[in-house]
Amino acid sequence: MVENGDLVVSIVVREFDAKNDSKEVEEVERRCEVGPGGKLSLYTDLLGDPICRVRNSPAYLMLVAEIVVHNGQNEEKSIVGMIRGCIKTVTCGTKLSRSGVKNSSDSAKPLPIFTKLAYILGLRVSPAHR
């Protein structure tokens, strides 16, 4: 939080609210195009759904960073960044089964090793606030 007389500026990181934040998040995405100006650039069209890239994961979350300017009795809010993330279960090799029963007819079967990992997809910061 920064104070300058009656002007107080703070940054709030909160969960994405689809009803209120969709248009502003799309605008920040548009301003964060990757590539040199006037040439070929990378742009992801979210088709009106800012969390479409992580929605199919069982555990996903999108956070937005918002600057809040308190000027006396007025308050202005604007989204300046967002991050999408999810937790996925993946396989990372195999191991031999250990059933505990010694039976010569059963050969050890390879079983997949599962682990959970955090996956960050789409960190965006408005160019004016980098």
State yes or no: pLDDT of 105 exceeds 60: no
State yes or no: pLDDT of 71 exceeds 80: yes
Residue with tokens 């300017």: 69
Q: What Å distances lie between residue 11 and 62, 69, 78, CA to CA? A: 16, 9, 10
Q: Which residues pair with 10 in a beta bridge?
A: 68
- CA-based nearest residue to 93, from 116, 111, 119: 111
Per-residue confidence band for 34, with pLDDT thresholds at 50, 70 and 90: low
Q: What Å distances lie between residue 22 and 18, 52, 99, 102, CA to CA? A: 5, 12, 51, 59
Residue with tokens 């960044």: 81
Q: For the chain, what is the radius of gyration of the CA atoms?
A: 23
Per-residue confidence band for 26, with pLDDT thresholds at 50, 70 and 90: confident
- CA-based nearest residue to 83, from 23, 9, 28, 4: 28
pLDDT for position 6:
77
pTM: 0.69
